[in-house]
Every structure is written in structure tokens, then in C-alpha cells.
Amino acid sequence: MENKLKNIKKTMNETIFHDISFSEKNQQNVFSSIKESDSSKKLFNVRKGFNNFLSLAVTSFLFLGIAYFVGTKTHILKGEQRNQHLKPQQESNKEGTVYIPPKQEENFKDMTKEEILTKMINTVDYFETAKGEFKIHYGYIDSRDDYSLIDYELSLKNNAGGYSKITDIQNGKETVTYHYYKDGTMWDLNQKSATYNEVYYMDDWAGATLKIEDAFSKDDEVKYRGRPPIVYATDSLFPYEIVSKFTRNMDKWEIEKQNEMLLGHNTLVIKGNLNRRDFQSFRFWVDKDTGILVKYETYNSSGKVVEYLHPKKLEINVPIDSKRFKPNLAGYEKEGISRKDEPKMTTGNIDEFIPVELKLKWEEAKKKPNETTILHLDDKWYICAKKGYLVDRIETDGREGTLYLAKVSPQKSQFIFHAMAEGYKVDKLKVVYE
């Protein structure tokens, strides 16, 4: 028995008892208990088999006592660790707060067309943070060698904001722009010209989940959920426009694969046909947890890829540091547009130019994103354009002028564009949407 107990510590180290101290003193206590048991057995005239049984029973009792203690302790520790894992965490750093959202489990259950389409038009509901990189080529770009590289990070809830870097490759030339948004302001930075622009936006993506029948209620009408102004990254994270164009008619596409791993995400693969001039079919790889469009391709009649979004990295619900969401504007000048010699148009965030007399009306105008508001004082016009439009130009004819508003790209459809016009010798401005 003594030989068997000499290696007990080594044996315990290889089990869940590795954190329990078992010293020589503990070992001697076990020996003493066993010897006392043996002495007691000699007082009675019992058979040898019963002695062996009693010795084994005493030893087992001691180990059961240790096991109970360790098991209870281990259970408590594991329970605390499990509870800590389920709770979102925050880590303090010198610049601010790094948010760590709860991780999501991969979804391997079969999904219906209705389920995956509902997620794709409501992706904003299914994740909290994201960072990624992808390469994208649009069908309207003639050269196959032209493309854009997108690198982004964003947080939807905790310290909401975002950052993206867009590298456009056209005719072998590279143009880099940076986009940031935080606390109602978006900044566009052009690296080549060392200029920046500020655009106002509204945090309006917290609405109710959109049902398929409400999103596509009529052939010529589509409703979209709000989403943050993350520019080209919306093509992957919030693919509402491409979904409405390609998959709103569920008879024209089918689920090709229920489960296909891509960049560590389990995706559902769908394919369909469209009778378009530039391409005839498409294929989507959709993250089953969130509805995010991880990858897509369109094909011509020969099966050749026409346009694509090819991912390089996609991380969902990972730690995000909000300090990246505001730009360092050192070395950049604010952008302004001048026309002719006198008239001048200043675009972007013009709050600092609003006179005191118009402050209240201007703040009210910013709360009405679905209409264009024009305020006039002295020789200046302050314009809050309808969401999805920007000021293109002002044309004058005598004492009257026409304000032309141009529709922006889908990537900027959630922005509110402001402008200040000065030097235009007109008494009235009428609005024309182009």
C-alpha cells in the first residue's frame, strides 16, 4: 500500500486534482488511517478477505472525500468562468474603451429561402462589431484590371462609429481615400489632394425588423433598413440594394448549398438567373448567422465572372477600439467648391457658419431627412438636402435661381448633405431633383 501511495501526487497532477496540495503529511495521515484500520481489524476474528475489503473501503472513502472537495471547488471556478464568458466585456485603455462583444456560434441548421432573405435585409440586427477586407469589381467598370480594395472596422452599438480605407485602382493608378464616422459626423479624406469634407448623418438604423412583404410590397417600391455610413463596406455588411435587385423574386433563385465554410464562417450558397444586358446569372455566399454577404459573383452567358466581391478577411463580434473612428486632420484642408469669380459653394458640415438667427430652424431642418430645407439670410443660402441627394449646382436667371440636387450612389444613400451658397444674386431658389 505504501508503494502505491508514493506516486499519488504524480497521478493527481494528471487529473482534475492537479491544483490540490497532497504533502507528505497528508500521505502519513492516510497511512495512519489505514494502520489504525488494520489494528482494529486484528481485534476481531475476521477472515482475510474482509480485511482486504475494509482496507479498500477506507482508502476509497478518503479519495471520495478529496474528490468531493475538489469537484465542488472546480465546479464553482468553472461556473464563474462560464458566466464571465457569456457577458460582454470592456477593457480600459489609455485612449478610451475597447469593447468585446459576446461571440456568436456558427449556424449549421438548414434555412429556408424566407429565413435567409429576411436576415439579408436586416443584417443590422444580427451583429455588433465587424472588421474585414475585400476586393470588389463593379460591372459598369470597363477594364477588368480596375478594382477597389476595402479595409474597414465598425461598431454598431457600444461607442458606435466606423472607419474604412478605400484604395481604387484605375488605369494602373492608385487613389486612396479614408472615411470615418462618429457622433453624427462623417469625414472623407482624400490622400492625394490632402483635403477633407464633413458630412452630417443620422443614427437611424435602430428600427424594427423589416418583413419581406413590407420590404418588397410593390414592384417599383423597395423599403430599406437604416445602416451606418460605412461607404463601400455596405455592399458586404448591409447588402440591401443588391438583395432587392437580385433576390426579391424568390422564383428566380435557389439554395445551392446549405453549408460551406468560408473564412471561418458557415455560409449558405444561393444561385439565380437574371436577364440583364451585362450579366445573366449570379451566386451569393451568405453568412448564416448574420445575413452578411461574404462573397458574390455575377456571370455572363459564357460563365465568365463579370463583377465580384472577393473577401480577404471577415471578423464578426471581435474587440473594436473606438479611437480609430475619428480622423487626424493634421495636414488636411477643408474642401470648398468655388464657381466663377463671386459665387461660392461650401459643402459638408456647415454648422459653424449658421447665424444665430437661424440656429433653431437649422436644427429643425436636420430632423427632417426626407425633405430639402433652404434657409436664406443676407446674401447666403443654407441648404439641408433631402437624404440621398447632394447639391450639384445653382443656375440663375435674373432674380430667380434653380437649385439642382443630384442623387448619390447607394453607398452614400444614408447621408445628409449640407451646403452653403453665397454670392448668388437671387431672391428665390426652386429645387429640382435630377
- Which has more pLDDT, 248 or 74? 248
Same domain as 345, residue 240: no
What is the C-alpha separation between 231 and 187, in angstroms, rounded?
A: 11
362: its cell numbers: 437649422
Domain that holds residue 14: 2-86
263: its cell numbers: 473564412
Alpha-carbon dihedral sign for residues 92, 163, 324, 186: negative
Same domain as 296, residue 271: yes
Same domain as 145, residue 104: yes
Residue 5 to residues 31, 151, 425, Cα–Cα distance (Å): 9, 61, 102
Same domain as 79, residue 201: no
- Which has more pLDDT, 360 or 60? 360
163: its cell numbers: 472607419
Find the mean pLDDT for residues 245-262: 94
Same domain as 417, residue 272: no
181: its cell numbers: 464616422
Same domain as 282, residue 222: yes
Same domain as 153, residue 12: no
Rg (C-alpha) for the chain, rounded Å, is 33
Task: Render pLDDT for 294-305 as a digit per residue (tens, 0 to 9).
Answer: 999 999 988 999
- Residue carrying the nine cell digits 437624404: 387
- Residue carrying the nine cell digits 466663377: 340
Same domain as 107, residue 82: no
Is 60 inside any structural domain? yes
Contact indicator for 418, 200 with CB cutoff of 8 Å: yes
Please determine, for residue 339, whether its predicted confidence score (pLDDT) is greater than 50: no
Task: Render pLDDT for 181-240 as a digit per residue (tens, 0 to 9).
Answer: 998 888 999 988 899 988 877 777 777 899 999 888 776 678 888 888 898 999 999 999
Spatial CA neighbour of 231 closest among 165, 175, 285: 165
Q: How open is the CA angle 32-37-43, to the nearest 5 degrees?
A: 130
The pLDDT value recorded for residue 400 is: 82
- Which has more pLDDT, 280 or 10? 280
Spatial CA neighbour of 348 closest among 423, 417, 422: 417
Note the maximum CA span of the chain.
128
Sheet of 373-377: strand order equals 337-338, 344-347, 418-422, 380-384, 373-377
Q: Output the domain CATH number for residue 222.
A: 2.50.20.10
Is 93 inside any structural domain? no
Is 92 inside any structural domain? no
Spatial CA neighbour of 224 closest among 210, 208, 235: 210
Find the mean pLDDT for residues 332-341: 64
Counting the structural domains of the chain, the total is 3
Spatial CA neighbour of 134 closest among 121, 152, 122, 120: 152
Domain boundary among 325, 350, 381: 325
End-to-end CA gap in the chain:
95
Which residues sit opposite 175 in a β-bridge? 168
The pLDDT value recorded for residue 336 is: 63
Do strands 428-433 and 373-377 pair parallel, antiparallel, or not at all (unpaired)?
unpaired
Please determine, for residue 100, whether its predicted confidence score (pLDDT) is greater than 50: yes
Domain boundary among 86, 108, 129: 86
The pLDDT value recorded for residue 268 is: 97
Mean pLDDT over all residues of the chain? 78
Please determine, for residue 264, whether its predicted confidence score (pLDDT) is greater than 90: yes
Same domain as 239, residue 386: no
Is 393 inside any structural domain? yes
The pLDDT confidence band at residue 138, using thresholds 50, 70 and 90, is: confident
What is the C-alpha separation between 102 and 74, in angstroms, rounded?
A: 24
Is 403 inside any structural domain? yes
The pLDDT value recorded for residue 197 is: 86
Domain boundary among 86, 117, 147: 86
What is the C-alpha separation between 421 and 379, in angstroms, rounded?
A: 9
* pLDDT > 70 fraction of the chain, expressed in percent and rounded: 73
pTM: 0.65
What is the C-alpha separation between 237 and 126, in angstroms, rounded?
A: 11
The pLDDT value recorded for residue 294 is: 98
**DSSP state, residue 263:** T
Same domain as 113, residue 192: yes
7 Cβ neighbours under 8 A, 6+ residues apart: none
Same domain as 162, residue 81: no
What is the C-alpha separation between 383 and 424, in angstroms, rounded?
A: 13
Contact indicator for 406, 417 with CB cutoff of 8 Å: no
The pLDDT value recorded for residue 102 is: 80
Same domain as 199, residue 257: yes
346 Cβ neighbours under 8 A, 6+ residues apart: 336, 337, 353, 419, 420, 422
Find the mean pLDDT for residues 108-122: 95
Lowest mean pLDDT among 87-101, 108-122, 414-428: 87-101
Please determine, for residue 64, whether its predicted confidence score (pLDDT) is greater than 90: no
